[in-house]
Amino acid sequence: MSDKNITISDVAEALGVSKTTVSRAISGKGRIGEETRQKVLSYIEEHDYKPNVIAKSLAQSKTFNICVVMPGDYALVDLPFFQEAIMGIQEIAGMMEYDILLCISQGDDITSLKRIIMNRKVDGVVLLRTFVDDPQVKFLAEKNIPFVAAGSSQYKSVKQIDHDHETACRELTSIILMRGLRNIAILGGNENYVVNQTRLRGVEDAYEQFGAKLEQTNLFMNLESKSFIEKAVDDALSQNADCILCMDDAICSHVLRKLRQDHVKIPDDVKIASFYNSSVLENNIPSITSLSFDARELGMTACKNLLSQIDGVEVPRRTLLSYEVVLKESTK
């Protein structure tokens, strides 16, 4: 018999046993004598038998699919982050012979996720964005589906992998404060995103350590459109802000465009920094001070965590990944 592409039927015929017996030996489930089990396992090892995904899924009650939930309301500038994270997930999933099913969620609408879970199409889920009040988390917990958040969650039971945004934002804000800047405008996005609340805590902690106070008039949150961001820039400049801290690269790119339009010079007239770096900011002149996070590492670590959960292995509730503060021309 050729060793190439042999099937479970070929193994059963060669050993004179039933296909059910071979399946039980492979899965380790069901009643089967130890001598028979070892005979089957020795044979498949000798002939390099690799059960196909359908056979494996039947034997192990698994689909060998995982679902990656990506928000549908992302800005174009956010796409590289999600691409890198998904590449990291795919790298680990592929090594473990898992496939990815991509699901797009629209805010509170998790209809697609519900359909995937109810039809038993996946063994577990990776969430690429988390919310303060999160219907995804509630649903998956209710259905007892293994899942991991690639980001932080305020639900204590959720397994989560995230970069240490709070410490990173505290460190960058502290550097700005140490340079004698006090009239700092903070521009952020949707407060319902956990990551934005985490970043804001880092800012507030830095102010507290310096015995200073973040004035509410300098805090501009929920900036979800170009017009809101431009108005926030106008307001910040009218208050003589000496620095604008942007909570992400999407906001920062709009801020930079607005400042160029108004002929405001960086860093002479106002200094700029971003709490997230991307290819959009890397090519800016002058170069932008920012926080650098490895999205691919985030995806890889999240996938490893999820696959461990699927296999019944206990995993840490929260894993924090490192970051880098990149100081450039925009804050000199």
Answer whether residue 42 is part of any domain.
yes
Sheet holding 271-274, edge to edge: 219-220, 184-187, 243-246, 271-274, 289-292, 324-326
Note the pLDDT tens digit of each residue in 8-33: 778 888 899 887 788 777 766 667 88
Q: What is the pLDDT of residue 2?
A: 46
Please indicate, yes or no, whether residues 199 and 262 belong to a single structural domain of this protein.
yes
Domain that holds residue 121: 65-163+295-323
> Phi/psi at 237 (nearest 5 deg)?
-70, -35
Q: How far apart are CA 246 and CA 273, in angstroms?
A: 6
Q: What is the pLDDT of residue 28?
A: 65
Question: CA separation (Å) from 95 to 99, 106, 150, 169?
Answer: 10, 30, 19, 34
Domain count across the chain: 3
Answer whether residue 142 is part of any domain.
yes
CATH number of the CATH domain containing 47? 1.10.260.40
Structural tokens at position 293? 């996070």
Please indicate, yes or no, whether residues 146 and 190 belong to a single structural domain of this protein.
no
CA nearest to 61, candidates 8, 6, 91, 23: 23
Low-confidence ranges of the chain (pLDDT < 50): 1-3, 54, 58
Please indicate, yes or no, whether residues 84 and 140 belong to a single structural domain of this protein.
yes
Answer whether residue 1 is part of any domain.
no
Contacts of 57 (CB under 8 A, 6+ apart): 63, 64
> Phi/psi at 112 (nearest 5 deg)?
-65, -45
Overall pTM surpassing 0.95 (yes/no): no
Contact 49, 11 (CB under 8 A): yes
Q: What is the pLDDT of residue 257?
A: 95
Please indicate, yes or no, whether residues 211 and 303 belong to a single structural domain of this protein.
no
CATH number of the CATH domain containing 118? 3.40.50.2300
Note the pLDDT tens digit of each residue in 260-286: 999 999 999 999 999 998 877 888 999
Answer whether residue 34 is part of any domain.
yes
Contact 103, 114 (CB under 8 A): no
Residue corresponding to tokens 């995993």: 315
